[in-house]
Amino acid sequence: MTKGAMGARRWMAAAMMTCLGLLAATPAQAEWREARAKHFILYGNMSEEAIRAMATRLEQFDGSLRYLYGKPEIDGQESNPVTVYVLPTVSAVRRLYGKGGDHIAGFYQGRVSGSVAFTPMRSDEEGPNALQPQQVLFHEYAHHFLLGNSQVAYPAWYSEGAAEFVGTARFEREGIMLGVAAQHRAYGLLDAAKLPIETLFDSSRRKLSDMETEQVYGRGWLLTHYLMFDATRVANFNRYLSLLNQGKPSIDAGNEAFGSLKQLDRELGRYLGQSKIPGMLVRFERLPKTDVSVRVLSAGEQAMIPSRMQSDRGVNRNTAGEVYARASTVAAAFPQDAVAQGWFAEMAYDAGQDQAAEAAADRALAVKPDLQQALLYKGLLHLRRAASDKSKDPARWNEARSWIIRANRADPNAAEPLAVFYSSFRMAGERPRESAVNGLERAFELVPQDQGLRFMLASQQIAAGQIDQAKRTLRPLAYDPHARPDNPAATLLALLDSGNQDAVKAALAKASGEGGKE
């Protein structure tokens, strides 16, 4: 689920439910804190020791993934951290998620405006096979990491299998153990009817039952584990990925790379029957040094954080107004709190309260002239007004862009101003400048996890006649295991293969109209 950077950037299809009640139940003496590290910002109503330890573990986990996959840092990634909100319980996370969240234990949204994750402090379940909050957070961050550090499209079974493989990471005295058995997938592996390997490899987008979906996770973990600890199997897997990314159907690619999927299935059965499976210890001395800073939120931020969480979760037409109404009282009480005013400017913008949004942005900038969020929303407000008026005045569009440029200068590696600058030309009905296209490409390099951004770049590539590049851009979305059955990326990819230009244009227009609402 994404929070797009443009037009409908905050309207979510899912209904929202308020989490104010759960926060009001917190002890009065408790304080919300922010922990900042290189790849993460954490917010939690917890002690300094607890939030520092959590941020440290997340950074160490990121380091273990970079070691495992041999992925160096991408310059500028530190300007686009994942924001993690730590709620008290799984039930609190589900209330915040809203409709459709009855069975989740945490969730993540990758987006150019700032990727976010929501995780509970403790689980509602007990026992050796219970899914723990750390596993959910690590699983979701693994998706974020792989999308952000690889240009390769992964099939659904590996996307989930790799996330499960590292999601069970266990912290030991010497380091982090990866590949720990996924006990929470035991039923799907041992007690249920086995998922045929052809179904596991099938990329046709047929709808799976709940049990089949469970086994994509479980058998995906098993197959990933089986392939990870043998050089020949790794080579076969890389051959499979190469064929898949050349456009070969997954089952055909699997049979060619592995020799026979049926034989691979038999080998998997024997592997599962082992009394002991291997693991991989990544020693702490192999990981980068972790630097975490912790602060107590200001009084204005403390009061605004419940609304900020709902806002960051994503809002629709109805809930945007509800969040705005609640936050208005807080904003009025803390006019000198730049961060709280910046948050409120975003909430007011989402609710269509442009006058209040601009006033909040101005208050924030009066205190902190280089606050990127306030600068960005000043620009977004000017862009929205110009687009609403269907302005053809270049000076008016340039004035709006001047705020986006200032936001970019506040942090040149932040992805959202780059994406908004490119989008401003589309809003104006103008051909994007070369600098805007370069900015879009840089934004995608920094935050390839945003689906709307992928579509935007693919659209630009198609317009420029860069069809092969557009296909590579779209493939990770086409294989997304969480995409709906009528996956627009898969549809567009097939149309590009067919060469039907009119159909490609229609599919792009439809996808652009739906962007940010999912």
The pLDDT of residue 130 is 52
Q: How confident is the model at residue 188 (pLDDT cuts 50, 70, 90)?
A: low
The pLDDT of residue 477 is 84
Question: Residue 435: in which H helix or E strand, if any?
Answer: helix 434-446
The pLDDT of residue 190 is 67
For the residues 148-170, what does the mean pLDDT come to?
91
For the residues 484-490, what does the mean pLDDT come to?
78
Q: Is the pLDDT of residue 457 over 90?
A: yes
Kindly report the number of other CB atoms within 10 A of residue 89's CB atom: 15
Q: How confident is the model at residue 385 (pLDDT cuts 50, 70, 90)?
A: very high
DSSP secondary structure letters along 394-426: HHHHHHHHHHHHHHHHH-TT-HHHHHHHHHHHH
Cα 329 from Cα 142, distance rounded (Å)? 39
Domain boundaries, the chain: 20-286
Q: Percent of the chain beyond pLDDT 90?
A: 68
Range name among 21-25, 94-98, 152-156, 212-216 with the lowest pLDDT average:
21-25
Residue 410 vs residues 76, 79, 404: alpha-carbon distances, Å: 13, 11, 10
pLDDT in tens, 17-43: 333 333 333 334 469 999 999 999 999
The pLDDT of residue 24 is 36
Half-sphere exposure of 386 (CA within 13 A, CB side): 23
pLDDT in tens, 500-511: 888 888 887 776
CB 429 within 8 A of CB 390: no
Residue 161 vs residues 34, 153, 252: alpha-carbon distances, Å: 32, 14, 20
CATH of domain 20-286: 1.10.390
The pLDDT of residue 512 is 65
Q: How confident is the model at residue 131 (pLDDT cuts 50, 70, 90)?
A: low
For the residues 203-215, what does the mean pLDDT come to?
76
- Alpha carbon 49 to its chain's center: 27
Q: Is the pLDDT of residue 4 over 60?
A: no
The pLDDT of residue 285 is 96
Q: Hey, what are 62's tokens?
A: 């990121």
Range name among 27-36, 137-146, 196-205 with the lowest pLDDT average:
27-36
The pLDDT of residue 192 is 58
- Ramachandran angles phi, psi of 32, nearest 5°: -80, 135
Half-sphere exposure of 411 (CA within 13 A, CB side): 21
Greater confidence (132 vs 19) lies with 132
Q: Is the pLDDT of residue 223 over 80?
A: yes
Residue 477 vs residues 39, 87, 276, 483: alpha-carbon distances, Å: 23, 30, 36, 8
For the residues 414-438, what does the mean pLDDT come to?
97
pLDDT in tens, 280-303: 999 999 999 999 999 999 999 999
Q: Is the pLDDT of residue 12 over 60?
A: no
For the residues 84-105, what does the mean pLDDT come to?
90
Top mean pLDDT of 157-166, 191-200, 328-337 is at 328-337
Rg (CA), the chain: 23
Cα 249 from Cα 435, distance rounded (Å)? 37
Q: Hey, what are 67's tokens?
A: 């070691």
The pLDDT of residue 395 is 97
The pLDDT of residue 414 is 98
The pLDDT of residue 128 is 52
For the residues 43-49, what does the mean pLDDT come to?
96
